Structure 1
Amino acid sequence: MDSGNPEMSIEVPPYLRVRKDGSVERLAGTQVAPPGLDPVTNVISKDILIIPETGLTARLYRPNSVAKTPQKLPLLLYYHGGAFCISSTSDPFYHNSLNNLVAEANLVAVSVNYRLAPEHPLPAAYEDSWDALRWVASHATEDREDHESWLKNNVDFDRVLLGGDSAGANITHFLALRLHASDSVPTEYFKVSGLVMVNPYFWGKEPIGVEITDTTRREMVNKWWDFVCPSEKGNDDPLINPFVEEAPALERLGCSRVLVTVAERDILMERGKLYYKKLLNSGWKGRAELYETKGEDHVFHIFNPNSDKAKSLIKRLASFINEQ
């Protein structure tokens, strides 16, 4: 969109703007929280480099108390949101949210710092996310000289889940589909039992539900996808609309249980509910659950973590993660 400003080329509200010289100015998700011991939750974290060639990194979390025991914990591979174009694993909102979830669920988490558009157009985020999954899975079978001790010593690789919010939840869907079709992940040793999909970012050309009347927010979401994935398919690209004919069948999800959470005031709510309904009727043999929070908007628990509803959502996520 031409803003009329000779210095400006594209604006993608409320996330970023791209100037005519190609430089990107992000308007959100740019703050940085350092890793380390969080005194409130007693969760410790550290940053690691996964793939030097692409610069792929992750932030690892575990309860600090686990260092004193040989206890094996569930593993959550987590993918942050941000419409594929903002935020990071060091975003203070995500860092605090992961500290809270790791403490509540008593698990090890790997928060993946995938590359962002527009500097790295899609499917870079999906490929980075898959590479991170494969790297983690390699710790279940290989004696690596460069193994990550928190994974090798503290993770029960029979209890692995993929989780994410918004764009990150979208990513988990496609990773689970790829798990079904891939022979490059040793699933006999590395078992992804479930998906935790918080306010998933799916969309489509034809509006449904509240999208029909909320034209202002619908137009905003339209611009997000057009920006990160310009194509002739637009908002019916299978990456953003998993229900179009050419999209992979939902019954191929490579896990046995899925939790989809939605928020009543979220413009993406209808898509999350549709995903849940389609999954139930797809022929997939697993168990799906839907959890709705009334009176709240998109990823409210990240921006207002101390509210009662945010704490209830974190408890529900932790409960699902620890189900056998």
Structure 2
Amino acid sequence: MEHLHQLLEIENSELAKVLRFSLHGLETILDQAQQEYPQDPGIQICDEIRKEILQLLQPPPKVEINSEFKLINLRDAFNTDPELNLYLGNSSLKSQTDADLWNEIQCKLLRLPEDLATSWRQRAGEMARQIGAVENNSHLYQLPFVRDEVIYSGLQGSVTARGLCLSRPAFLNTAIGQNHPTGELNLLAGFIALYTKIIEIEPELHHAFKSVFSFDVVSLHTKPEQKYQYIEALSDRFQRTKKAEENTDLSLIVRAWLDIDEAIHSLVFVPPAERYSWWGKLQQESRRNLKKVVERAIQAGYDIRIKSLSGIYADICAFSKDDLQLDCGGTPGEVLTCLRMYARINQEEIPGRVIFRSSR
């Protein structure tokens, strides 16, 4: 057990990642086996083994070096802004250090409308300067993607905190990036690499991917087995899309792209990120790729129509199926996010799927 702990705690270790995924898989298999054989004489021991595995997979507790926040004014201002509840729900900040607080706030800003996020980012920078910390881009945590982009700055001075960026070299360093996918598939490969990494560092991510779990929006932090299954399903959809691109039937290619776009849009927050937030714009890149594929099929003579579902839920529910309901975010009775686009391919209707706000 001691050596398992040591390996799991090594940052940026591919071996640690393999071990973590394997343990998630083992725990899921044992859970399913227990349900299949409830009278098995080993059921209690199996319970204890699952508990040990889940304990292994828990992140190490954070140690507070200095219990006095320098950025306490920033924390209090953020926690008491009622406008933020509309986009972030009622979750208060949980960080125990200034560095973690800076990153937690900056990550939450990525879910807000662009103008509100910009305003808060400027306000956070000013509050940091008041306590002797300045923003800088010299120390950024790199997320693999198809382009370079500073997502937010870090801090130096009285508070030291890392920023966050997208990194093409980091993408080319991954197994999927080294395969050199081209065209629209290159962006999909970037999403696979990015999602696999960002899921590990963002505790508030959920998934609503029907092929993994169809009944609810599920936390990837509190349900680690769901994280493993979602990443596997996302990778599987990517491989299917690559395979479909070898086909001459463009209607089959469009169906595959609908599936992978759904997988990408099914990584969500509760409530879902605002459409014109950084997160919303990132995911829209996948949807623009899908529209290019559809346009290619239409020009080749195929009868295809796709539609993103938004607005009042009662107006679009005839075009969707297996939708999910939340009681936070947005406006009651309206769609919060479109997980899967509605499509009509050669007169066959394929329902979309959305998350909507309950009307109560």
* Interval containing the TM-score (normalised by the shorter chain): under 0.3
TM-score by length of 1: 0.28
The TM-score, its normalising length taken from structure 2, stands at 0.25
Bigger-Rg structure (1/2)? 2
Q: Quick one: higher RCO (CA 8 Å, sep 6+), 1 or 2? A: 1
Structure (1/2) with the larger helix percentage: 2
Name the structure where strand makes up a greater proportion of residues: 1
